[in-house]
Amino acid sequence: MARLFHYKIVNNAFGDPCVLVKLLRERRAILLDVGDIRKIPFNEILKVSDILVTHTHIDHFIGFDQVIRAILRRQEPLRVYGPENIIECVHGKLMGYTWNLVADYPLKIEVYAIKEEEIVFTKFEAYKGFKLEKIKSLPIKNNLILNEPMFNVKALVLSHGTPVIAYSIEEDYHINVNKVELDKEGLSIGPWLGELKRLIKTNYDYDPLKVLKPKRKTSSIKIETPKGNLNIEELFHILKITKGEKIAYVMDVSPTKENVTKIIKFVQGSDILFCEAYFLDKDKDRSIERNHLTAKITGEIARKAQVRDLKILHISPKYIENPQEIYREVELSREEILE
Ligand SMILES: [Zn+2]
Ligand SMILES: [Zn+2]
């Protein structure tokens, strides 16, 4: 069945962590961390609308300049989310270049610093030489930092010696078209189906009784189909609605009980969890010193949160000769064989 999210892990587990999440038929992509992005083709960087940065250690942030380089003449703004110092870090990077020839470029970069209970934001615009503007703030409710018709993004503040943010990207529900019913109606496939999905997502919730319910009282919503103008509710029977996917991303976290408890709750029921497994349990003293999770803890998180698919993205170079030990420890812990 067609899914909304299509991800690409950019580097192997010893390279910089970075995942490109492409949105089906949206000509749009989200970057989870922005480490070494040289393997992402230019045309895909051009589609990046949002960058979700866990923290600004260099292995998670060095690719930022390359994104700016690629999108400099773009109309669509870039949104960057990150921990409390993200505005200073973006500003610092932008101030590292000379911008006297970009006054007619439309690029705008919106930067959002995530704190426990509020989100602080500002924008940098090419035509103003990317100078720092006034910073504003808004409260955050239910960890929600981005709420769009097609998906939402949640953020969780954790610690790594410095604040670090874990993210989830989730589609409330997924709409597929039943081809047999479509044919029966004498309708054909076309861009109008994308528009239909967007209208439904914008105006309807999918409740626990598995019924589409209008979000608010609205008069009927019409759509132009190959058979003429129809009320969208007349088309519900050609659709198949399923649970949406949840992607979670957790990197560089101190192995404390508090962090682990918060992560398990936050990533609960994820279809995919991208996570670090930086050290082996036998090196746990080092993991505490360096503020990273061990393979055993990562396995435990995946088990307790009932994660469907776990992808290990970040392993200490210490294990470059024997990464299988890390994967083995993750799996044993996930199957509860270690305890
Ligand atoms: Zn790292
Ligand atoms: Zn780090």
pLDDT bin (cut points 50, 70, 90) of residue 92 is very high
Given 3.60.15.10, 3.20.20.70, 3.50.50.60, 3.10.180.10, which CATH number is that of 5-142? Answer: 3.60.15.10
Cα 15 from Cα 46, distance rounded (Å): 22
Arithmetic mean of pLDDT, 55-82: 97
CA of 265 to the centre of ligand 2 (A): 22
pLDDT tens track for 238-259:
998 888 999 999 999 999 999 9
pLDDT tens track for 71-88:
999 999 999 999 999 999
DSSP state of 129: T
Cβ atoms of residues 44 and 22 within 8 Å:
yes
pLDDT tens track for 141-196:
999 999 998 899 999 999 999 999 999 999 989 998 999 999 998 999 888 998 99
Question: How many separate helices (H) and strands (E) can be counted in the chain?
Answer: 10, 20
Cα 185 from Cα 84, distance rounded (Å): 53
CA of 125 to the centre of ligand 2 (A): 29
Residue spans of beta strands (DSSP E) within 87-162: 108-114, 118-125, 136-139, 144-147, 152-159
pLDDT bin (cut points 50, 70, 90) of residue 1 is low
Residues within 5 A (CB) of ion ligand 2: 57, 252
CA of 135 to the centre of ligand 2 (A): 26
Q: Which ligand does the CA of 162 lie closest to?
A: 2
* Helix, strand or coil, per DSSP, at residue 268: coil
Q: Which ligand does the CA of 14 lie closest to?
A: 1
Residues within 5 A (CB) of ion ligand 1: 59, 252
Cα 71 from Cα 28, distance rounded (Å): 13
Domain boundaries, the chain: 5-142, 177-243, 253-334
